[in-house]
Amino acid sequence: MSENRAMQYAEILSKLIKVETISSRESKDITKFLGFHEVLRETYPGLFETAEVESFDGSLLLKWKGTDPSLEPVLLMNHHDVVEASGEWTHPAFSGAIADGKVWGRGTLDTKGGLAMMLQAAEELIAEGFTPRRDTYFVSACTEEIGGEGGDAISRELEKRGIKFHMVLDEGGMIMYDPIGGADGTFAMIGVGEKGYVDLKFIAKSNGGHASAPGKNTPLVRLGKFMAEAEKAECFTVEMPDAVKEMLSRFSPTMSGIMKTACSNVNAFKPVLKKVMPMISPAGAALLRTTLAFTMSKGSEGANVIPQEAWVVGNMRFSHHQGKKSSVDAITALAKKYDLEVEIIDDGIESDITDYKGEAFKFIEKAVNTVFPEYKPAPYIMNAATDSRYFCRVCDNCLRFVPFKINKQQLDSVHGIDENVDIETLAPAVDFYRYVIREA
């Protein structure tokens, strides 16, 4: 890999990081996103001159026309909005600092880094005179971090236009060592699906009163008992999806002891694995069942006042096997046990799982094997949400993978402090996207 090439990509990414693009539910002003689009135009002039470009309230849709209209198009995605960047950073969050072999700043991994390398691949191919056979679309939304309004709107418009994609590739898994604990190897984690997302509000009511003479089961007490029981997750069914079975099977050669034996024979050891995986890590547990995390709460305004109404908000990520309705019904039944009302704040959207035996997955798997022969591809189901969930309307093969090699600190820095990406992983990422665009 040319050091000059790596530094060129680092400087491009640094320029994009310096443009602050925090999205907020409280603001509808898209001025900064439109400004970011201008930076993209300056950075990738060939692509923006070649492609048809549309803006959807700050979210971008580009279409690079192919030579064969009979073929279904492909779509590559990475959003350009980012989350806030509070706390003490080694380098300021929007400095785009290039130091210690890394580019630092909010969005380097989530997901301006993927966006920069994706568009760079297209820019280079255009400069070389290449035209894809399939129409190749690019989407970059400015609302992914606040619910996905942009991705939703673009997918609905594409559906209205009658467009059906052969494959969608969005953000998601990356290349990392020991993804779940016990796998002594580095894997390219390719998301074949993502759990659904619902926000629920649990409300406890009473007559209120003075805190000096409390009765039994006041609103906050009932909410506390409910949360304690809900945390045990016994109302959510545990199952092992086929994609998770395949993931464990691919991990097994790098494992040892009982885990190696169990993961080498997943079907035979499934009952054991269903009990053991939740003990390994919260991520392991989340792969097998619906989860509910309590994130917001409110009681009375006074320290000496029993509230007439108190509430907590729970963020639910529902499994494919139990689904949204059954998951919501299960937690609603538990809430009624404590005399709580349940309100759905965000109804979310259900999306499908892409077949890891199918053509699209095998193609991305081949791209990984070609560009990163030293790393093993593995399918998995994402616990987090991406914009690609909306594009299941227009594609049966939505995959989630960004070709960056990261370590645990970098994984933890996503939505955290000191987000950064290694410079040495940028050029291989461009090569990966070049392969996808060229060979699709």
Provide the 3-class DSSP secondary structure of residue 408: helix
Q: How far is CA 103 from CA 94, 291, 380, in A?
A: 11, 34, 28
314 near 294, Cβ under 8 Å? yes
pLDDT of residue 379 exceeding 80: yes
- Confidence label for 3 from pLDDT (cuts 50, 70 and 90): confident
> Quick check: helix, strand or coil at residue 39?
helix
Report the C-alpha gap between 166 and 236 in whole angstroms: 34
Tell me the average pLDDT across 126-148: 97
Residue 1 reports pLDDT greater than 60: no
Residue 367 identity: A
- Average pLDDT estimate for 364-390: 97
What pLDDT is recorded for position 284? Answer: 83
What pLDDT shows up at residue 276? 85
The answer to whether 134 and 74 are in contact (CB under 8 A) is yes
Question: What pLDDT is stored for residue 277 in this prediction?
Answer: 86
**324 phi and psi, to 5 degrees?**
-70, -50
Q: What pLDDT, in 10s, does the model give residues 4-41?
A: 999 999 999 999 999 999 999 999 999 999 999 999 99
pLDDT at 45 over 80: yes
For the ranges 36-50, 259-273, 367-381, 419-433, the lowest mean pLDDT is seen at 259-273
Q: Among 36-50, 120-134, 180-194, which stretch is predicted with the lowest mean pLDDT?
A: 180-194
Tell me the per-residue pLDDT of 148-178, one tens digit each, with 9 for 90 and over.
999 999 999 999 999 999 999 999 999 999 9
Asked whether the beta carbons of 32 and 91 are under 8 A apart, the reply is: no
DSSP string, 176-208: EESSSSS--SEEEEEEEEE-EEEEEEEEEE---
Q: Sorting pLDDT into bands at 50, 70 and 90, what band is 348?
A: confident
Lowest-pLDDT range, 233-237, 279-283, 358-362? 279-283
Mean pLDDT, residues 236-257: 95
How do strand 398-405 and strand 167-177 relate by DSSP bridges?
parallel
Provide the pLDDT for residue 34.
98
Mean pLDDT of the chain: 96
Question: Cα-flanking dihedrals φ and ψ of residue 334, to 5°?
Answer: -65, -40
363 φψ region: left (φ > 0), alpha (ψ -120 to 50), beta (else): alpha
Give one DSSP letter per residue of 196-262, joined into a string: EEEEEEEEEE---EETTS--SS-HHHHHHHHHHHHHTTTTS-----HHHHHHHHHHGGG--HHHHHH
What share of the chain has pLDDT > 90, as a percent?
92
